[in-house]
Amino acid sequence: MLPIAHDRHLLDACFLGPYAENDAMLEKLVVEFLRDHVYWRRNFHPEDPPAISTRAALHPDYQEFESRMRRELHQLSAALKRSVPFHSPRYLGHMVSDLLLPGLAAQMLALPYNPNNVSEDAAPVTVDMEVQVGLQLARMVGYQDDPAQPGCAFGHLTSGGTLANYQALRLALSLKAFAPALRAARPPDIELPDDDRIGFNLAPAECIALLLRWQQWLTAQSAPDRSRWQDRLDAQRIEHRGLVDFFAQHPDISPPKVLAPITAHYSWSKGLKLLGLGRQQLELVEQKNMRLDVERLEERLEALRRAQQPVLMAVAVLGTTEYGSIDPLQDLITARNRFAQRGLGFSVHVDAAWGGYLATVFRAENGQLRTFDEVRAEFENFPAPHVHAAFSALADSDSITIDPHKMGYLPYGSGAFVCRDHRAMALLAERADYVFHEPVAENYLRRYRSLGQFIPEGSKSGAAAAAVYVTHKVLPLDHRNFGRLARQTLLSAEQFHTRALCFAREVADVVTVVIPIEPDSNLVCLAFNPVGNASVARMNAFVRQLHEELRCDPRQPLQLKEFFGSSTTLRPEIVGTDETTRLLTSLRLDPASLIAGEVNSDRLTILRHTLMNPFLTDHENGISYIGLYFEFLARRLRALTAAAK
């Protein structure tokens, strides 16, 4: 096993640090590049004299403005002292930690240039960087990342994972509805599906093949014919007609379902509402150990196939928000391929908003996938075989969501959407995008410089794109670079897990401690029940009391908090009957006290810990914040149970 200390010296340089140890480095960078920006302005047209007089600062209006600005900034700065200390190894709460210096510096450096990544006209530099980020992420997950290849992947940034998931839905619907639209437009000489039902149920790869045949055919037409045919197709497309009209016009097909695990993030519900398909089309599939239950998924798919109910997409979550669990993506891919042959085509999207960057641990520098044994040699238990299999299967998915602002350690405002075959993106273009380009890297880049054509947003931050790009250049997305950071989080989670098992024995006289879900990644949950208590309501009240001490409280000085953690719940309708019974037994709870519909007793409240901070082990001073956290927990658990007596 590679010792944690092995990565220590690299990590020392990556962040501002818990004590802001690298303050001089950040300050130097900020000042250096701010000056650089100043000279850039002055050198634009040095013959233009300064427009603001050197005496301007003497005027009362100027001084009044400056004093007002200072006053407000002081207030802002003071207020921000109540912020959550995400940077601290005492923070184990949500999916955030310190920021990587290259990203922070690049974003600050780029801000005064204010590039707008809607298009190259407004961002001649950073729009290319955003397209490159798409390729960097594509390589990390095993998609084709050479723009000179015809089926190269494409990715772009979004405001977050929510919008990336929405973009996946939008693209899948465009692809799915393409064949029926093309049939309605009736172009001659193109081989079309026999009927709408077949067309609407093509596999994503077949939809793309049909799109390419159409584009090739169009390219061969004269210019006036081409635009006439393009208009004719556009008039038939679902994006033009709207859902109501489109399905009225195609009575043999109906609005498609989306299948997602019951543990899926609520952005999926938002996405279906936003798309206009409606929340009703989202079917949540049962889980096993918080991982999608593929048998149940296949049963659902078979039932839908028999009912001639189309399916838009099946979602796999790579790192669930609440439990960090990893769905068996490999089995979803198999199901997708099998059902496509039986006339039920759908896409597989991976919601890796949280777990995406863990792929760096599995990726060798040459882009190859690392074997199970290679990865396994670096850890105590990670990865479970199904986890390695899921990461191996990423390359076969149709699209992926990854959040640089979560495990990418980058500032908020950066999610990412990546699709496996960029040629599908033509369907999302606002302007006709039919010209069939030869697959030359330069064409690829030229096309996506009009980024606003393809993304859900309009104007967007080029500085954010620069931050992600520079970070990926400094720490390439393989196991020897960024992967060392990801490995650190997994090793911390293993330490936390091991420590939790000892801890459970140490406090067994006062509290029963259970790890309710075996962690797949770097998120570990803990359940607590005071000895002698059999009531779910009382246990929940106890855990909420504990959580009160771990949550942000703006009315109190920050320093009063020893640690920050988060809570989540286990609901029987999600966990399942057998698993709920097992949990209740292990926590010595009375099953009769779990009451459906009762606010305080219809679920189990537990603590959730995100082990993302790179300095959980302080090698310099020999401090383990994981150890300190469990000491804190032991103290609080004993105090709380004593107070209750």
Ligand X SMILES: *Cc1c(COP(=O)(O)O)cnc(C)c1O
- Shortest gap between Cβ of 41 and ligand X (angstroms)? 34
Considering beta carbons, is residue 320 or 641 the nearer one to ligand X?
320
Stretch that binds ligand X, among 219-227, 346-354, 596-604, 619-627 (CB under 6 A): 346-354
Site residue total, ligand X (CB under 6 A): 13
152 vs 407, beta carbon nearer ligand X:
407
Specify the DSSP class assigned to residue 286: P
Instruction: Report if residue 415 touches ligand X, rule: CB under 6 A.
Output: yes
CA 289 to chain centre: 21
**Which of the ranges 54-62, 154-162, 204-212, 421-429 carries the binding residues for ligand X, by CB under 6 A?**
154-162
Per CB under 6 A, the list member of 29, 99, 301, 353 interacting with ligand X is: 353
Taking the least distance from each CB to ligand X, the nearer of 176 and 265 is 265
Residue 417 near ligand X by CB under 6 A? no
Q: Which stretch binds ligand X (CB under 6 A): 252-260, 347-355, 425-433, 436-444?
A: 347-355
Choosing from 120, 196, 286, 351, the residue that interacts with ligand X (CB under 6 A) is 351
- Binding mask of the shown chain, residues 296 to 325, with x at each position contacting ligand X by CB under 6 A: ---------------------x---x----
Judged by CB under 6 A, the chain residues 377 through 406 that form the site for ligand X are 403
Confirm or reject binding of residue 162 to ligand X (CB under 6 A).
Answer: yes
* Angle, vertex CA 265, rays to CA 259 and CA 266, nearest 5: 90
Closest CB 332 distance from ligand X, rounded Å: 15
Shortest CB 407 distance to ligand X, Å:
10
Pick one of 214, 354, 469, 615: the residue that binds ligand X (CB under 6 A). Answer: 354
Residue closer to ligand X by CB (options 102, 355) is 355
Candidates 90, 170, 265, 608: give the one binding ligand X (CB under 6 A). 265
Please tell me whether residue 56 adopts helix, strand or coil conformation.
Answer: helix
Only segment of 68-76, 155-163, 198-206, 479-487 that touches ligand X (CB under 6 A): 155-163
Block residue for tokens 């093509």: 202
Q: Could you write out the DSSP letters of every residue in 157-186?
A: EESSHHHHHHHHHHHHHHHHTHHHHHHHH-
How many CB atoms are closer than 10 A to CB 257? 22
Q: Which residues does 342 contact at the CB level (< 8 Å), separation at least 6?
A: 305
In whole angstroms, how close is the CB of 351 to ligand X at the nearest point? 5
Tokens 């107070």 correspond to what residue? 643
The tokens for 592 are: 């009769």
CA angle 550-556-558, nearest 5°?
Answer: 65
As measured in angstroms, the least distance from the Cβ of 526 to ligand X is 20
| Choices 23-31, 160-168, 438-446, 451-459 (CB under 6 A): range interacting with ligand X | 160-168
Tokens 């939008």: give the residue.
170
CA-wise closest residue to 495 among 524, 520, 474, 469 = 524
Radius of gyration of the chain (CA): 27
Give burial (CB, 10 Å; 0-12/13-18/19+) of 49.
Answer: exposed
Which two structure tokens, joined as six digits, stand for 205? 């790869």
Which residue, 321 or 488, has its beta carbon nearer to ligand X?
A: 321
Shorter beta-carbon distance to ligand X: residue 158 or 201: 158
Residue with nearest beta carbon to ligand X = 161
Q: Which is nearer to ligand X, 413 or 439 (CB)?
A: 413
Give me the least distance between CB of 177 and ligand X, in Å please. 25
Is 97 one of the binding residues for ligand X (CB under 6 A)?
Answer: no
- What's the CA gap between 391 and 265, in Å, rounded? 20
Distinct helix (H) and strand (E) counts, the chain: 23, 15
Across the beta sheet with 257-261, the strand order is 154-158, 415-419, 399-402, 347-352, 311-317, 257-261, 282-285
CB of residue 159 to ligand X, shortest distance in Å:
7
Closest CA to 477 of 360, 362, 355, 395: 360
Query: Applying CB under 6 A, which part among 156-164, 380-388, 550-558, 568-576 lies near ligand X?
Result: 156-164
Q: Considering the complex, what minimum distance in angstroms separates the CB of residue 214 from ligand X?
A: 33
Contact between 204 and ligand X per CB under 6 A:
no
241 C-beta neighbours (distance < 10 Å), count: 19
For ligand X, the closer CB: 198 or 400:
400
Residue type, 215: Q
Task: Tell me: does residue 167 bind ligand X (CB under 6 A).
Answer: no
Cβ-proximal residues to 525 (8 Å cutoff; 6+ apart), any chain = 322, 323, 515, 516, 517, 519, 568, 606, 607, 608, 609
Give the bridge partners for 511, in sequence order.
530
Give contact residues for ligand X (rule: CB under 6 A): 160-162, 165, 265, 267, 317, 321, 351, 353-354, 403, 415
